[in-house]
Chains A and B, each alone.
Chain A
Amino acid sequence: MNSAIYKSLVEIVGEDYASDRPEELFTYSKDLGTSEPKWPDYVAAPKSVEELQKIILLANEAKISIVPLGGGLSLAGIALPLHGGILIDMKRMDEIIEVNGKARYALVEAGVSQGKLFAYLKKHHPTLAHSLPDAPPAATIGGNIAIHGQGDLAHPHGFNSDMINGLEVILPTGEICRFGSCSIGSGWFTQHPLPDMAFFLGWGGTTGIITKVSLRLFPCKKIRELDMLVVTDEELVPDIFHEITHVGMTEDLVVFSQAIPPMTDRLHHIINNISGDSEEELEFKRRLIYDDRLSKFIEQGTVGIVATSQDLEKPSVTKTADWRKGGGFEYVGSVFPVAAYPELYRKGVEISTRHEIPYTVTGRVIGANHAIMFSWSYAFNRADPKSVQHANEALHETDDLVLEFGGTIWKPAVYGQQIVMKHMDANTLALMKKLKNMVDPNNIMNPGNWEVA
Chain B
Amino acid sequence: MTAKIEYKYDDMIHRCFRCGYCKFPADWSDVTNCPSYARFRLESYSSGGRLWLIRAWVNGEIEWSENLAKIVYSCTACKNCEEKCPISFSDNLVNMVIAARSAMVETGLLPSAVKSFLKNVHLHGNPYGLAGKKRSQWMEGTGIEQYQDQEFLYYVGDEGSYDTRAQSAAKALGELLLKAGVSFGVLGNQEISDGNEVETLGEDGLLEELAKKNIKQFKDLGVKKVITLSPHSFNVFKNSYPKFGGEFAIFHYTQILPQLFQSGKLEKPAGLNMKVTYHDPCFLGRWNGEYNAPRTLLKDLDGVELTEMGQNKKSSLCCGGGSGNFYTDLLGGSEDSPARIRVRQAHETGAQVLAVACPNCLTMLEDAVKVEGLEEKLQVKDISEILNGSE
A45 CA to B124 CA, complexed, in Å: 42
Q: Is the CB of B24 within 8 A of A382?
A: no
A126 CA to B27 CA, complexed, in Å: 14
A280 CA to B288 CA, complexed, in Å: 45
Interface string of A105-125 (1 = CB under 8 A from B): 000000001011011101100
Residue B182 interfacial (CB < 8 Å): no
Interface string of A129-146 (1 = CB under 8 A from B): 000000011100000000
Sorting the interface of chain A by its residue count into under 10, 10 to 19, 20 to 34 or 35 or more gives: 35 or more
Q: Is the CB of B52 within 8 A of A27?
A: yes
Residue B62 interfacial (CB < 8 Å): yes
Residue A89 interfacial (CB < 8 Å): yes
Q: Is the CB of B18 within 8 A of A116?
A: no
Q: Chain B contacts of A321 at CB under 8 A?
A: 15, 17, 19, 87
Interface window among A17-25, A60-68, A213-221, A443-451: A17-25
Q: Chain A contacts of B89 at CB under 8 A?
A: 322
A318 CA to B56 CA, complexed, in Å: 21
Q: Chain B contacts of A383 at CB under 8 A?
A: 14
CB nearest to B84 among chain A residues: A137
| Given A26-B61, A30-B52, A91-B41, A115-B24 contact (CB < 8 Å) | yes
Q: Would you give the shortest CB distance from A87 to chain B, in whole angstroms?
A: 10
Q: Chain B contacts of A273 at CB under 8 A?
A: none
Residue A28 interfacial (CB < 8 Å): yes
CB nearest to A114 among chain B residues: B28
Pick from A26, A138, A328: contact of B56, CB under 8 Å: A26
CB nearest to B27 among chain A residues: A119
CB nearest to A30 among chain B residues: B52
CB nearest to A72 among chain B residues: B43
Within 8 A of A (CB), among B117-153: none
| Given A26-B62, A27-B44, A123-B29, A327-B19 contact (CB < 8 Å) | no
Within 8 A of B (CB), among A72-89: 72-73, 89
Q: Chain A contacts of B24 at CB under 8 A?
A: 115, 137-138
CB nearest to A132 among chain B residues: B28
Residue B42 interfacial (CB < 8 Å): yes
A17 CA to B334 CA, complexed, in Å: 12
| Given A23-B65, A137-B24, A325-B86 contact (CB < 8 Å) | no
Residue A71 interfacial (CB < 8 Å): yes
Q: Would you give the shortest CB distance from B70 to chain A, in whole angstroms?
A: 9
CB nearest to A116 among chain B residues: B30
Interface string of A5-37 (1 = CB under 8 A from B): 000000000001101011110111010100000
Within 8 A of B (CB), among A36-80: 43, 45, 71-73
Residue ranges of B at the interface with A (Cβ–Cβ < 8 Å): 14-21, 23-24, 27-31, 40-44, 49, 52-53, 56, 61-63, 65, 67-68, 71, 86-89, 310, 334
Residue ranges of A at the interface with B (Cβ–Cβ < 8 Å): 16-17, 19, 21-24, 26-28, 30, 32, 43, 45, 71-73, 89, 91-92, 94, 113, 115-116, 118-120, 122-123, 136-138, 314, 316-319, 321-322, 325-329, 381-383
A73-B20, A381-B14 known; 16 new pairs, CB 8 Å cut-off, are A17-B42, A23-B62, A26-B52, A72-B18, A72-B43, A73-B19, A115-B30, A118-B28, A136-B21, A137-B20, A316-B21, A316-B86, A318-B21, A319-B86, A321-B17, A328-B17
